[in-house]
A and B are shown apart, each in its own frame.
Chain A
């Protein structure tokens, strides 16, 4: 059945079960990807997936259930299972279904116009061809991908709220393997994800990946010690994305972030201003409402180093005696609502990246970071990450460096940011410029 028929079936089931507080969340995603390999389209993927999630409050307890099968029987199971889930929980006096915001921002959605498969094929083939032509040391292009995604979400609840939004995204991926004369392999990749197709730049993508691979040839480790560190803009994004959870009011309440009770205190260097900007034009996840139906808006989290607010959903806000910031987010349609940023951005500075390197003097420029899922912990702030990059000597990049780690604590890193470049970069709901951190521990050779 269609989603609208399914919605009616769920509403009927909820009514006959005597459930008065509930919501129904729906997501439909479509994704087309084309992979080129050795001058031909090797793989084509066309994926559609739908999901509906029902949650309800029974005696102050919120249970969840989801499905990918839109039938009468599933509508019944959904309501029954959510009820059964609710029953075993402990009471939460703050559990609530939202009444609706007075006003929702106008955020441009996307149209389901279908996808130009021929254009994707052309782009994927061009990525591979261009990468091999750019430098003879590029031996294989394991990934040359062009993709298009379209998604719709809808939220209906027992207070009569009925919201919808759609989004789309174009994506290019280029992964190259370079080989030196000794047969040693160097791998690098770059990704572009854009709301507007015209913002895609195949040549820039390929050049970034090729330069990264060729630039790292002959890399060696560095001596262990303390160094000033410049994070390339996309690596500042990686760090901020990894530790963004520390701004969750819910995590703070549960002792999983050390920022609890720190509002209005200085937690970062005075040059740092951090925002959550859910309506940023170039953000793929831009949205007028969060997954509880609350109107989203821009919030300043850190202003000149001072923590102005944490992020809240309805429950954590009620617990803190504050208003929600509209940051109740589901990781996927079937997940529970958690506090999360929509589009976390560090405001750029005024100097160029090269000037930032001069400011660093002698240190390391980080272009690759690995191990974020295991060797970085948002609750403790600790990180110890595999890194690659370049040695900075007298303000200039001199040689490629690899096989070293950078380690420290993100809370301290925020205090030690001494420079911000003007090269703002946005990816996957996080944006930042290159930053200079006065000192981090580096482990490499003796």
Chain B
């Protein structure tokens, strides 16, 4: 155990000594490793150990968070005292006894091969193989970057309600980037598959060569693509990472972080129709070994399958402990944080639009003049106004129901509530893609996903204004 039970009990009692009504310890001992190859050389290998604890105290709708790297009894007590002083104005110590009992959550994300037990040479081979695939793809690929990242996070969570629990999260991900150039211009392609799994991910789930090939192909295709025209268009967004549209346009605005303070456009809309009835959206932290999954969230609550939108009707929000107090709602197992250096808040896990009623070929055939967003990049959103943006990493024009020439440099912008209503066809090839989602509590692994969908109208940001030739 990172912290002994008796020590955790003392620390929690100290944290509550000035009148707090809830106290929590989040401690972690994490190893992170990365290996990178660029410019024909494996040039970087790093091992980082993240080690520390955060102590949080609630008193009604007030909270205090303090961190330390000193996990000795005295170090933790000092940290708890600092936090207790900050939350309470009580002069005399209250004598509080906290009794913890261990809770073991079944592990639904088994790890077969801890990446930190795998020989470095074997990991380097994965990187070199991917690098070779990228560089051999075409003479136009002038540079390639491949990196392998692993994380083995061991956490202990204890709180004054008596919870004492531990969890281990192991992640493995490879990132492949191809840079194509004609000497005057550069274009990039990117694929980065990963799982909440050990090194066995490369035997079963992730084909590194395929990822590298796709990254190279994307870079070369975009090098020969025309700039995308900028205007309002009908857009077909492909499955997998295309789901970033829901993540940005709606997901963030359903997080209690925004909803609790009436700073979301979806406040007070539970039970109302916010999307076309073909749209059902789910956040599910229980998918076995998926990139965004967890056994328990970073507050010790088991993750669950949260239906956010069912047939167009808003069904629920993503709630963490603290914001749940303001909203009068229980946690949905959505309290997450990058590390002990952040207090947890409500975040997404694996979020996707479910399969719908439309045939994929009908979706493309239905568009006479539009854009096929084949690969999406990242995006961002302002939950209050719902304004979002995201990048189209690989796009094609659609002419008369057929996929036409590639276009580059496109981005999509809009308002969440409007775009949800504009998703008017939902296909049947649900898939997910991996991303790192950044917000108040840092950067956490999340899956986004969807089948092919059609958006009837959205603003496409592009380089050449007006109509395409």
Contacts and interface: CB of A to CB of B under 8 A. Distances in A.
A277 interface: no
A63 B45 contact: yes
B169 to A, nearest CB: 18
A35 to B, nearest CB: 9
B272 to A, nearest CB: 14
A443 B462 contact: yes
A66 B387 contact: no
Given A67-B49, A90-B42, A370-B380, A407 B411 contact: yes
A68 interface: yes
B48 interface: yes
A46 interface: yes
B188 interface: yes
A406 B50 CA distance: 40
Contacts of B90: none
B356 interface: no
A373 B343 CA distance: 24
A20 interface: no
A207 to B, nearest CB: 19
Contacts of A41: 62
B45 A50 contact: no
B379 A255 contact: no
Nearest to A65: B47
Listed from nearest, the 8 A-B pairs whose CB atoms lie closest are A443-B230, A405-B461, A374-B378, A386-B389, A85-B45, A187-B384, A371-B389, A384-B411
Interface in B132-178: 142-143
Given A225-B465, A442-B230, A443-B231, A403 B61 contact: no
B68 A379 contact: no
A113 interface: no
B232 A405 contact: no
A48 B261 contact: no
Interface centre among A44, A67, A69 (most CB of B within 10 A): A44
Interface string B53-89: 0000000011111111101000000000011001100
B112 interface: no
Interface centre among A47, A63, A86, A381 (most CB of B within 10 A): A47
Contacts of B380: 370-371, 373-374
Interface stretch (B33-41, B284-292, B300-308, B357-365): B33-41
Contact of B415 (A53, A226, A254, A403): A403
Interface in B440-469: 459-466
A375 B414 contact: no
11 contacts: A46-B82, A65-B48, A66-B48, A90-B43, A92-B43, A224-B465, A335-B46, A371-B411, A374-B379, A374-B389, A382-B463
A367 interface: no
B120 interface: yes
B194 interface: no
Contacts of B382: 187, 370
A140 B466 contact: no
A106 interface: no
A49 B143 CA distance: 37
Interface string A393-404: 000000000111
B109 to A, nearest CB: 25
B87 A44 contact: yes
A380 B223 CA distance: 10
A42 B409 contact: no
Given A47-B67, A374-B378, A379-B186, A187 B263 contact: yes
A382 B408 contact: yes
Given A63-B45, A87-B120, A375-B411, 17 more contacts: A43-B62, A44-B65, A46-B65, A47-B65, A67-B49, A69-B49, A90-B43, A177-B263, A185-B384, A224-B231, A370-B382, A374-B379, A375-B391, A377-B188, A380-B188, A382-B408, A442-B465
Contact of B179 (A46, A370, A379, A384): A379
A401 to B, nearest CB: 13
Interface string A37-66: 100111111111110010000000001111
B464 A386 contact: no
A129 B353 CA distance: 41
A267 interface: no
Nearest to A141: B261
A240 interface: no
Nearest to A388: B387
Interface string B171-214: 00000000101001111100000000000000000000000000
Contact of A226 (B64, B186, B265, B465): B465
Given A370-B382, A382-B409, A407-B411, A225 B466 contact: yes
B408 A44 contact: no
Contact of B461 (A86, A380, A381, A443): A443
Given A380-B188, A403-B459, A48 B67 contact: yes
A446 B87 CA distance: 55
A56 to B, nearest CB: 12
Interface string B379-411: 110101101111100000000000000001111
Nearest to A33: B65
Contacts of B48: 53, 65-67, 334
B413 interface: yes
A373 B461 contact: no
A185 B385 contact: yes
Given A48-B67, A444-B459, A74 B391 contact: no
Contacts of B409: 382, 384, 407
A127 interface: no
B459 A384 contact: no
A299 B163 CA distance: 56
A76 interface: no
Nearest to A411: B185
A124 B450 CA distance: 42
A380 B465 contact: no
Contacts of B49: 66-69, 74, 77
A22 interface: no
Contact of B181 (A68, A255, A382): A255
A423 interface: no
Interface in A127-148: 139-140, 142
A380 B186 contact: yes
Contacts of B343: 43, 45
Nearest to B264: A185
Contact of A44 (B47, B52, B64, B258): B64
A85 B47 contact: yes
A255 B47 contact: no
A66 B43 contact: no
A43 B390 CA distance: 32
Contacts of B413: 371, 386, 403-405
A77 to B, nearest CB: 8
A408 B387 contact: no
Contacts of A66: 46-49
